[in-house]
Structure 1
Amino acid sequence: MADPGQPGQIGARKILLTIVALLVAMWLSACAGGPRTSAPAPIKAPPTATAPKPQQGLPEDTDRHRVALLVPITGPNAGVGQSIANAAVLALADTKDRSLRVTTYDTGPGAAVAATKALAEGNALILGPLLGDDVRAVAGLAAARGVPVVSFSNDTSASADNVWLLGFQPAQSIERVVRFARSKGLTRFAGLVPQGAYGRTASGTLIRVAESAGGSVVAMQTYDRSPAAITAAVTALSKQKFDAVLIADSGRVTVVAVPLLRKKAVTAQVLGTELWNAEPGLSSVASLNGAWFASVDDAMFGQLSTRYRARYGKTPYRLASLGYDAVLLAVRIARDWKADAPFPSDRLGDAGGFAGVDGAFRFNRSRIAERSLAVHQLGAGGRSVVSPPPTGF
């Protein structure tokens, strides 16, 4: 007869063996990288006083030069600033450059705040900011650290020993279109200009260029951009006789002023400035058909816009090209930028200039970008180039 206790003993041994196997498996798992308690790490000696300190907020990638991009990411100009920042990213991607680390700092809360942080984090070149007042707030801080500023502003009064202005200059645009008009036989010029700094620049440039080109300015009217003031200025201007009239303002004012001029039987050639280049809808305004304005050629900007939309799903602001070209400029000069050395700002004055989305440009002795501009004509089918940009300076 079989022992009645035997099956129970066999079952107990099987259970015991199973438990042991599970424990062994768990231990092996722990040895293979599972959670476990380790001995305390040995205490390291504090760094010596001569050990380099990592820059605050940024990784220690010593193989790359640090470049700060100062643009408004918040506030009323956030759209423009974000477009410039996005275009800067595209430029780095297109050039496949690994020599620069470009970091964006928001000037919305204050340009001086952004610049202080950028300088504290070891940036040796500043691209931006956008507005003239912001440039003035940044220039002194950067100069104290020996850091050059390549700004996107067109405010010539913001220029300084360590500040270069990359923005589109109204004086250059006016000179180009007035000289083109003079080449077409127009001699008697008039001006319709807003009050303020832009208007003073426009009127002064119109007088200087017209006279130097063999023409003359026979009438000039200013206004404060209110509908009543524009109407009064147009009425006063229409009492004079002239061949061409420069409307030195945005498209919003132009589409009001030109129909008023035509109603007054003024048939003079209409001239505009670089401001019109940011407003493609002007071609649909019938009264502006045939108007001329000078600005950079838009052919390459169209290609940039296509890539921008593909990546970001929206159309960039026209000033986005400044961010792209500023990075191209930095990448080119970075070839001669030695490690642990200041940015070679003397290279910004290269007489041969630089190339970018907005065509050829160079900085003159006043550190203001001189550009090669085309003359555009508005028409029902869009704009066309009636005088291509010069190939050299």
Structure 2
Amino acid sequence: MAEKIKLEQSETRRRSLLKWAGVSSIVFLAGCQSIVPRGAEPPPPPTAAPTPAPVTAGIPTDQTHHRIALLVPLSGNNAGVGQSLANATTMALLDTKAENIRMTSYDTAKGVTAAAQQAIRDGNKLIIGPLLSDNVVATANIARPAGVPILSFSNDAGAAGNNVFLLGHIPSQSIERVIDYSKSKGMTRFAALVPNGVYGQRASSTLLRKVRDVGGTVVSVQTYNRDANSVEAATRKLAQNGDFQAVLIADNGDMAIKAAPYIRKNASSSAQILGTDLWNTSSKLAGSATMRGAWFASVSDGLYRQYADKYRARYGTAPFRLSSLGYDSVLLTVKVAQNWKVGTPFPINQLTDKGGFIGLDGVFRFMPNGISERALEVQEVRAGSFGVVDPAPKGF
């Protein structure tokens, strides 16, 4: 375990926590009436930022800090993303100068059950993490009886609810957003390629429901295994039930790059290609000529790019895209901590504020079922870059 504590500074003790957003170099967290300025210049690299205090033997007991547990994999196959999430939470604690929060990291790779049990024994009132959906279920079985809520990085909607809140981006929301935009451009006949498996089943269900809701028609939905022969065979079947104006590739950017040429060759030379927020993490997509003009919905990258610059300056490497969730989890906690008495249970009711919150990934809020709803923008694949064709709303 490694414990992150924001060191006391005499100047900041005279400042009200309500003004922490003014000193944060990236973003502030607030209700939906707050606005994050776009186009701001990236902040200069930090010169002499303090670092969290090292872990000492045992967990200190005090009456001045909120105890928060961070459950992430710090060893094993997922150590890279876990460490990136941990680094992001450290940055957020430093940027917000949150003196009343004590965060302790627990390595889920060494056993998520043991990590969760130790977190509860140490007196933590909130758990941030874990990363994997199976780990969320295991953690909830321990945290729920103790009355400790969970802010998980998972995007598995099946793990949400009953004091478990998901920070992860829900794929169905990006599908709904891009269908709405396509309909606004006059498209009513849709087709889709979806991978075999749970993700593909959920994507197909979302497409069918959303197209029906907007008054359109789903001409064809074809499934495939993730290999070239299967993808090509699926594209040949796409147009068997008639022409379509748009086709959704419900998969990551690499699979979209493989599928697009087959769509053009076997199914449609002109249909609009649509994608999900999985495309936002593809480093190859913007370099593919076949994908030019394709649309996908995702969170905005404006504030994330500023954060990534600062992260690289501090840690000497690029952050995982998912690490923004770690930063935002701390921003949310700091916001709630303004009206949270130390030693009392975490005020869960504040998480479902209909006005929502603002973070690196834009405006978001938690619905009563524990799933996060996010304001998404529609991006277009261009030559070497992505361009915004429909900005994300400023609030709900």
**1:57 aligned onto 2:62:** no
Q: What is the correspondence of 1:110-149 to structure 2 with a 5 Å cutoff? A: 110-149=111-150
User: Equivalent of 2:391, from 385, 388, 391?
Assistant: 388
> Separation in 1 of the partners of 2:68 and 2:57?
15
Is the contact made by 2:161 and 2:371 (CA closer than 8 Å) also made in structure 1?
A: no
Matched to 1:134, the amino acid is N
**1:292 aligned onto 2:307:** no
User: Equivalent of 2:332, from 329, 334, 357?
Assistant: 329
> Separation in 2 of the partners of 1:360 and 1:88?
19
> Separation in 2 of the partners of 1:296 and 1:352?
18
What's the TM-score, normalizing by structure 1? 0.84
> Larger relative CO (CA 8 A, sep 6+): 1 or 2?
2
> Separation in 1 of the partners of 2:57 and 2:239?
62
Matched to 2:365, the amino acid is R
Larger radius of gyration: 1
**1:203 aligned onto 2:192:** no
Quick check: 108-117 or 303-312, which moved more?
108-117
Is the contact made by 2:254 and 2:282 (CA closer than 8 Å) also made in structure 1?
A: no
**1:189 aligned onto 2:166:** no
Alignment match, 1:236: 237
Q: Give the match's secondary structure for 1:144.
A: coil
Is the contact made by 1:373 and 1:388 (CA closer than 8 Å) also made in structure 2?
A: yes
What is the CA distance between 1:265 and its match in structure 2?
5.7
What is the CA distance between 1:280 and its match in structure 2?
3.4
For this pair of structures, how many residues does the alignment match? 339
CA RMSD of aligned residues (A): 1.3
User: 4+ residue runs of structure 1 moved beyond 4 angstroms?
Assistant: none
> Separation in 2 of the partners of 1:339 and 1:265?
61
Alignment match, 2:166: 165
What's the TM-score, normalizing by structure 2? 0.83
> Separation in 2 of the partners of 1:279 and 1:103?
32
Alignment match, 2:50: none
Alignment match, 2:103: 102
> Separation in 2 of the partners of 1:345 and 1:326?
14
Is the contact made by 1:188 and 1:217 (CA closer than 8 Å) also made in structure 2?
A: yes
Matched to 2:192, the amino acid is G
Matched to 2:256, the amino acid is T
User: Equivalent of 1:346, from 343, 349, 352?
Assistant: 349
Quick check: 233-242 or 330-339, which moved more?
233-242
User: Equivalent of 1:303, from 283, 300, 306?
Assistant: 306
What is the CA distance between 1:292 and its match in structure 2?
0.4
Is the contact made by 2:365 and 2:374 (CA closer than 8 Å) also made in structure 1?
A: yes
Deviations 1:232-274 (A, max 9, x none): 1122114441100000001121111001112226121000001
What is the CA distance between 1:391 and its match in structure 2?
1.8
Q: Give the match's secondary structure for 2:63.
A: coil
User: Equivalent of 1:256, from 231, 252, 258?
Assistant: 258
Identity %: 53
Quick check: 73-82 or 351-360, which moved more?
73-82
Is the contact made by 2:196 and 2:224 (CA closer than 8 Å) also made in structure 1?
A: yes
Is the contact made by 1:246 and 1:272 (CA closer than 8 Å) also made in structure 2?
A: yes
Deviations 1:58-88 (A, max 9, x none): 2224311110111111122221111111111
Q: Which runs of 5+ in 1 are unaligned?
A: 1-54
What is the CA distance between 1:113 and its match in structure 2?
1.8
Alignment match, 1:47: none
Matched to 1:283, the amino acid is A
Alignment match, 1:213: 214
Is the contact made by 1:56 and 1:121 (CA closer than 8 Å) also made in structure 2?
A: no
Matched to 1:141, the amino acid is I
Deviations 1:293-320 (A, max 9, x none): 0010000000000000000000111001
